[in-house]
Amino acid sequence: MEKTKTVYESEEFRQMLQSASAMKEPPEKDGSLRQAWFLHRCRGIVAGREKELGRKLTFLVVTFGCQMNERDSEKLRGILQMAGFVPSQSEDADFVLYNTCTVRENANVRLYGRLGSLRPFLRKNPSMKIALCGCMMQEKDEIERIRRKYGYVSLVFGTHNLYRFPELLCSCLLSDRQIIDVVDKDDSIVENLPAERTYAFKSGVNIMFGCNNFCTYCIVPYVRGRERSRQPEEILREVEHLAEDGVVEIMLLGQNVNSYGKGLDHEVSFAQLLREVEKVDKIQRIRFMTSHPKDLSEELIEVMKDSAKICPHLHLPVQSGSSRLLKLMNRHYTKESYLDLVRRLRESIPDLSLSTDLIVGFPGETEEDFLETMDLVRQVEYDSAFTFLYSRRTGTPAASMEDQVDEETAHERFDRLLALVQSIGRKRSSRFEGTVQRVLVEEINRQESGLVTGRTPHNLVVHFPGDESMIGTIVDVLLCEAHGFYYMGKRVADAS
């Protein structure tokens, strides 16, 4: 089975595209049909350019940031391919799109570096189009900087109107001026747009957009907007389509999946949604992220405990082990309540793998606060953790807090925490040595020929002998040797 899937579109969108081709004017109401009309028009524009140039037009989408952005990029790539562009592995392409992140300052710095590196390609190909979208584009200061210093960027749009990409692409292809289309709010959820999946056998599925939590260090609610849940029937329809198209593992995505369903006309809890997703026959594995500790219900724990499909791996960001800092962060739980939640999870799901996010150097963090974080890590014993230095984001409450931690102190604490996290993680990850695990084969091993690479339900990486025909299948593998955070294994049929 191939790793990269060609464009996937639903039957509903195919019908819309056919209907749109017969329309002289686009429908006035925003939605899938209007975007199908513009996509049909883009096809004509691209075909005309191809004829002029005597070659196919190429595109590249580069993604910064989280899995929500990765899923958005799959949709953007799908639209570009349906418009007639062909994928490129190089930024020397006719259409280059950066899907940006702004959670940490270094993501902004990286983007501007990449933009600068495009100048030689632009000189060689003056008709090249450069586009920016995503979270960073919701920041007014960054938009002004792009307008002032990067006039060669053709198109800028944000997170709220990503679904209008076919329409914006059409305008971009027909115009020589810079188009900036960023809105502060748009509650629309447009279904059925095409997507190019990175993998044929697994896929992310957005179940909600935005965030209501307003953690004081986080800019996401300001750039992604308030929470909006998709209708459960639309989510299930998408999962069913994906299953029929060969997907065996899905990742349900949201900034806080535990608060899914709030605000719908008929509220549905995340646990209830999971029960329905489980019923889709050809889906063999279900993952989800991200879970906010304050909203993780007993009902969800029970669903995970009783499920044969939900993977026993939970990403449960804690950020800090200091209850004082957690209050300043506006996290709505304490160290003690978090540890109690972990206890209840492990009592119900004894072999559960836990991962987390940890911030070092939050404003006002004392050595005592930091030691509380170290203590929590020792008590929980995470399988893995993403550790971050606090990044000051303009517009968030934490940015204006007093007692910003100096860089040298923050780095010293970061190194101590990282050493502890890695030591515990290596020990936790090795507990499966000598056991047989079901492994989803994801790709040919990049370092050593004759090996394939896959993941266990606990999200552990395994390398073992195999070939391309195994990609996308789930096989029994004996985990022979633990090497830190990955295993060397043998397929059970080959291990005897």
pLDDT, one tens digit for every residue, the chain (496 residues)? 444 455 656 677 778 888 888 888 988 876 888 999 999 999 999 999 999 999 999 999 999 988 888 988 999 999 999 999 999 999 999 999 999 988 877 788 889 999 999 999 999 999 999 999 999 999 888 999 999 999 999 999 988 888 899 999 999 999 999 999 988 776 667 677 778 888 899 999 999 988 999 999 998 888 888 899 999 999 999 999 999 999 999 999 999 999 999 889 898 999 999 999 999 999 999 999 999 999 999 999 999 999 999 999 999 999 999 999 999 999 999 999 999 999 999 999 999 999 999 999 999 999 999 999 999 999 999 999 999 999 988 889 999 998 999 999 999 999 999 999 999 999 999 999 999 999 999 999 988 999 999 999 999 999 999 999 999 999 999 999 999 889 999 999 765 4
85-90's contacts with Cβ under 8 Å and 24+ in sequence apart are 85/46, 85/56, 85/57, 85/58, 85/59, 86/56, 86/57, 86/58, 86/59, 87/58, 87/59, 87/60, 87/196, 88/58, 88/59, 88/60, 89/60, 90/60
| Tokens 């679904």, residue located | 163
Q: What is the pLDDT of residue 189?
A: 72
Q: Which residues of 242-281 are buried (b: 16+ CB within 10 A; e: fewer)?
A: bbeebbbbbbbbbbbbbbbbeeeeeebbbbbbbeebbebe
Beta bridge partners of 359: 388
- Structural contact between residues 78 and 192, judged by C-beta atoms closer than 8 angstroms: no
Q: What is the pLDDT of residue 10?
A: 67
The first and second tokens of residue 305, run together, are 């405990």
50: closest CA among 94, 96, 6? 94
Q: From CA 445, how far away is CA 331, in angstroms rounded?
A: 40
- Structural contact between residues 385 and 355, judged by C-beta atoms closer than 8 angstroms: yes
Q: What is the pLDDT of residue 485?
A: 85
Angle at 191 between CA 186 and CA 194, to 5 degrees: 115
| Tokens 């019908």, residue located | 15
Angle at 380 between CA 374 and CA 382, to 5 degrees: 90
Q: What is the pLDDT of residue 480?
A: 96
| Tokens 């595109």, residue located | 59
Positive or negative torsion for Cα 147, 151, 153, 154: positive
Residue 307 CB neighbours (<10 A): 16
The first and second tokens of residue 42, run together, are 């883009």
Q: From CA 385, how far away is CA 316, in angstroms rounded?
A: 10
- Structural contact between residues 275 and 223, judged by C-beta atoms closer than 8 angstroms: no
